[in-house]
Structure 1
Amino acid sequence: MLHYCLAHLAYHFSRQLPKRSRAKFEILVLLLVTFLLLLLPQIFVLLRPKSSRYCGQPLLVNLTSFIIFTFIMTGFTVILTLMDPIPNEVKVAFHVYGVGSFAQGIATTAFTVPASQCANTTPELYYLSLVLSVLSVLATVFVGFLIPFWLADVFNKGMVSNHRSRAGVCQKPVANCSYLWHV
């Protein structure tokens, strides 16, 4: 769920900027978040000689799939931040990707929890998997907290926050940061 959450937040943060500044924001997001914070550590650990040692859990395979999800996240981030309006097909594909990202987060956590013995044989791989597991769980909790609000807004438009009439259950809490809850 980490990849889905990051792309979703980038989309809504970009919508707070004027259209002419979105390309600059996109470059900043791609350079900082995708490459420096996510992709560079993953590729570094993948290329370490210690990472290919034996580990009782398939952490190396999981890291490879995590890298693939990071590349897909990069593509969705570019598409979502630069397109206006977003076609429904892209929205559906993105939410299906979110389900896959959720499954990836569960797999990462499930493989990392019983892999404490891997801290001795493949320390970088184990600790990166541990960090990615914690971040995935935090992102899942965040999105899980927001899902009831998203569903309420889908079934009863304007109930959660109606910006035009400045009404709704969450109008005051999200008046300055509406991009956090909106789908």
Structure 2
Amino acid sequence: MLHYCLAHTAHHLSRWLPKHDRLKFQIIVVTFVTIVLVPQLYVLIRPKSARFCQQPLLGNLTCSIALTFMASGFAVVLTLKDPIPQALKAAFHAFGVASFTAGLCTTVLTASAAPCAKTTPELYYLSLMLSVGSMLATGFFLAMGGFWAANQLCPGSVLNLRSRTGVCLEPVSSCSCLWHI
């Protein structure tokens, strides 16, 4: 979910800015994606990364790089579009499922690849960082999904903007991007 979280965060942060100031933000997004992408590409081209590792961490890194490129595309498109078409929302949430699956695979592969820390240290530790980031992002979306589900089951209990009530009214009042895409 790390890649999904990056694009989701870029979308919501861009909504705080006026439409005419979003170009500067898009430059920041591209810079941030570059900062995220460079270590992955560096580890990919390292000769040590091609050594034997019992788990396919190198193939997993390639998948992560592809998802990073897709996340950057979604981040740019989501900051440009206002309102967001339903088809784009559906594609973005399908990307979220793919990102969750990739994060789950990364976590499982990394957990079972402890011996790779000696043979391919850069690859192993990058995979470990991607696993931790994915778990944190998944935890965030599970918490947000819990609030959403509670609000669907008991309408207005978590957030009711009309009557200005609910558990999440104060955080959402000061940061409306916390609620949904």
Is TM (by shorter chain) over 0.5? yes
Name the amino acid aligned to 1:100.
A
Give me the TM-score of the superposition, normalised by structure 2.
0.93
Is the 1:9–1:180 contact (alpha carbons within 8 Å) kept by the matching residues of 2?
no
- Once the two structures are TM-superposed, the CA of residue 158 in structure 1 deviates from its matched residue by 5.7
Q: How many residues align?
A: 181
Equivalent runs, 1:71-90 vs 2, <5 Å: 71-90=69-88
Is the 1:153–1:159 contact (alpha carbons within 8 Å) kept by the matching residues of 2?
yes
Which residue is 2:44 aligned to? 46
Q: State the distance in 1 between where 2:30 and 2:48 align.
A: 29
Name the amino acid aligned to 2:23.
A
Cα RMSD between the aligned structures? Answer: 1.7
Measured against aligned partners, the alpha-carbon deviations of 1:56-94 in whole angstroms (never above 9, x if no partner) come to 000000000000000000110011011001000000010
Is the 2:3–2:99 contact (alpha carbons within 8 Å) kept by the matching residues of 1?
yes
Identity %: 57
- Once the two structures are TM-superposed, the CA of residue 174 in structure 1 deviates from its matched residue by 2.4
Name the amino acid aligned to 1:4.
Y
Which residue is 2:94 aligned to? 96
Cα 1:47/1:116, change in 2 over 3 Å: same
2:29 maps to 1:29: yes
Is the 2:106–2:130 contact (alpha carbons within 8 Å) kept by the matching residues of 1?
yes
Q: State the distance in 2 between where 1:39 and 1:182 align.
A: 26
Which residue is 2:17 aligned to? 17
Is the 2:113–2:124 contact (alpha carbons within 8 Å) kept by the matching residues of 1?
yes
Cα 1:16/1:6, change in 2 over 3 Å: same
Aligned to 1:129, what secondary structure does the other structure show? helix
Gap regions ≥5 residues in structure 1: none
Gap regions ≥5 residues in structure 2: none
Which residue is 1:2 aligned to? 2
